[in-house]
């Protein structure tokens, strides 16, 4: 096979591939896996990275903008944030959340309790979103 025919086949193959020569779009980040039932009962950590849900300043700014636009209202209430976190981290669908300052105590199945440390990464006070920065068994 000559160099010319190799190049011709390469060019033809490249033309058949979608997006050849340009970078593929980044895949969206996968949602955190739900905890197993054993994890949920024991209250052990699943694969949720902290701070949650915004792991970077850019993500938090995007979430703040979404809240400002009327979406994601659960981010404006530390107790609602804690309930969503418990569902993502432990697979709990029934959660009691009691917010006090910069912490929220959550109680799930089997009376498993955790104390979450929460913070407002950008705007503070009314209208600022909350994120979970630490999770400790109670």
As to burial, measured by CB atoms within 10 angstroms (0-12 exposed, 13-18 middle, 19+ buried), residue 71 is: exposed
52 DSSP β-pair partners: 132
Structural contact between residues 79 and 98, judged by C-beta atoms closer than 8 angstroms: yes
Residue-wise pLDDT for 74-99, tens only, equals 999 999 999 999 999 999 999 999 99
The order of strands in the sheet holding 131-137 is 96-100, 103-107, 113-119, 131-137
Beta-bridged to residue 106, according to DSSP, are: 97, 114
Please write the tens of the pLDDT for every residue from 18-76: 333 323 323 333 333 334 434 444 455 557 899 999 999 999 999 999 999 999 999 99
- For 95-111, the pLDDT digits (tens) are 999 999 999 999 999 99
CA separation for the pair 106, 137 (Å, rounded): 10
- pLDDT confidence bin for 8, thresholds 50/70/90: very low
pLDDT at 13 over 50: no
Q: Are 77 and 130 in contact (CB under 8 A)?
A: yes
Q: Note the pLDDT of residue 46.
A: 57
pTM over 0.75: no
Domain chopping of the chain, boundaries: 34-137
Pairwise CA distance, residues 125 & 89, whole Å: 26
């Amino acid at each position: 096979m000559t160099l010319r025919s190799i190049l011709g086949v390469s060019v033809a193959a490249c033309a058949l591939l979608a997006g050849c020569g340009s970078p593929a779009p980044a895949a969206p980040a996968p949602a955190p896996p739900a905890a197993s039932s054993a994890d949920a009962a024991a209250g052990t950590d699943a694969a949720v990275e902290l701070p949650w849900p915004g792991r970077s300043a850019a993500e938090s700014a995007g979430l703040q903008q979404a809240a400002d636009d009327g979406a994601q209202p659960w981010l404006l209430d530390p107790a609602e944030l804690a309930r969503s976190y418990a569902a993502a981290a432990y697979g709990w669908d029934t959660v009691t959340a009691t917010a006090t300052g910069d912490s929220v105590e959550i109680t799930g199945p089997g009376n498993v309790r955790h104390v979450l440390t929460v913070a407002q990464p950008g705007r503070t006070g009314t209208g600022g979103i909350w994120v979970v920065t630490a999770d400790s068994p109670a």
